[in-house]
Every structure is written in structure tokens, then in C-alpha cells.
Amino acid sequence: MKRVILVTGTPCVGKTTTAKALAAKLGAQYINLTDLARIHNLTSGEDEERHTTIIDEEAMRMKLSESITQAETDVVVDGHYAAAVTPPELTTRVFVLRRNPKELRNFMQSCGFDELKVYENLAAEILDNCLVEAFQFHTEPGKVCELDATSKTVDELVGEILEVLETGICCGSVVDWLGTLEEEGILDQYLKA
């Protein structure tokens, strides 16, 4: 039975690196949603403020379903909105990668991201946006697995994913950035409007 594995999470948590390594290990087809959108022109306009294109989610859903159905191997789908555009009935498991906001901010700043993007992504990570979206669309118990990628190597992460796929056991929810930052009294340094 063909498995369809989603790798989602806030930008810069390590989705692409992990998903590609996972696909290689499984001999699976790797689908990157940013590439898919570009190749098939699945956009519906430009977001001027963010200098990014807006995805036509319906067109994306159709194209992705077609690619998954045609695949003859397992499929790994990589994208921060993968959970929203991959039909649940085609999805085997959703892995939501998480990265500590401190490490995430350092990383984004070292990459030269502008302030707007840094704090927008940090808010998304702190408020569990991708996890919430995953649970919203994929309601079957035990389907959504959260993995803390902080300070882990790609091999470790891939190992954890393979273990979940083999045993079927996954932890729904593991991190609480909001709680830990608040406890440390530094939430306002990370959650800026």
C-alpha cells in the first residue's frame, strides 16, 4: 500500500532537508509544494507586502491529488501548507516539525530575513499554526505527529519518522513554546505584533 507522508512546519524548521532525506531512505517520490506551484503556475496573484506569490489552493489540491495518485512509490510531500492541500483520504501521516523560537530566530536573522518575515514566522511557530492546521484537516486519531527538530541532526529526525512509520506510535503534541517563553518572561521579545 502506497504511503503518503506529509512534512510540514513553519519556514526554516528543516522540512526540505528532512523530507528529501526521508524520501531517499524510503525510495519515495519527493514533492515540494513551492516547486509544484511554480512548475504548474498554481498561483492566484502576488502578495505585494511580503513579496511572495499567493497559492491557488484549489488548483494545488487538484494537481497534488493527481501527482499522488499517479505515483507508483510512497510519496513525501514537503510544504508549510501541505496539511491543508493534501486530501486526508490520500494521507497516511502528517509530521509537523518544530524548532525552538530562539534557535529559529537566530537562524532566520543569520539568513538575512527582514523583520516582518522573522516575526511573522516566529508568531506562526509560537502559536502552533501548522500543528493546528494539521489537526484541523487530518482528524483521524494518531495521524498527526509533532517532532521537535531543535538541535537534532537530519539523520536523527529521519530515524524518528521511520520509527513512527514502523511502530505506528506517535506523540500528537510535544512542545509548548508559548508556555516556556512566558515562564522565562521573554515572550514579548518573540511575539511582536
Ligand X SMILES: Nc1ncnc2c1ncn2[C@@H]1O[C@H](COP(=O)(O)OP(=O)(O)O)[C@@H](O)[C@H]1O
- Please pick, from the candidates 4, 5, 6, 12, the single residue that binds ligand X as defined by CB under 6 A: 12
13, interface contact from ligand X, Mg ion, none, CB < 5-8 Å by kind:
ligand X
Q: What is the gyration radius of the CA atoms in the chain, in angstroms?
A: 16
Residue 16 engages ligand X in binding (rule: CB under 6 A)? yes
Residue 17 engages ligand X in binding (rule: CB under 6 A)? yes
Considering beta carbons, is residue 140 or 155 the nearer one to ligand X? 155
Q: Footprint of ligand X on residues 136-155 (CB under 6 A)?
A: 149, 152-154
How many other CB atoms sit within 10 Å of the CB of residue 83?
26
Residue 17 engages Mg ion in binding (rule: CB under 5 A)? no
Beta strands in 50-181 (DSSP E): 52-55, 75-78, 93-98, 144-148
Q: Which residues are bridge partners to 145 per DSSP?
A: 95
How far, in Å, CA of 153 to CA of 141, rounded? 28
Ramachandran region of residue 45, left (φ > 0), alpha (ψ -120 to 50) or beta? left
Give the range of 12-20, 22-30, 120-128, 181-189 binding ligand X by CB under 6 A.
12-20
Binding site for ligand X (CB under 6 A): 9, 11-17, 149, 152-154, 157
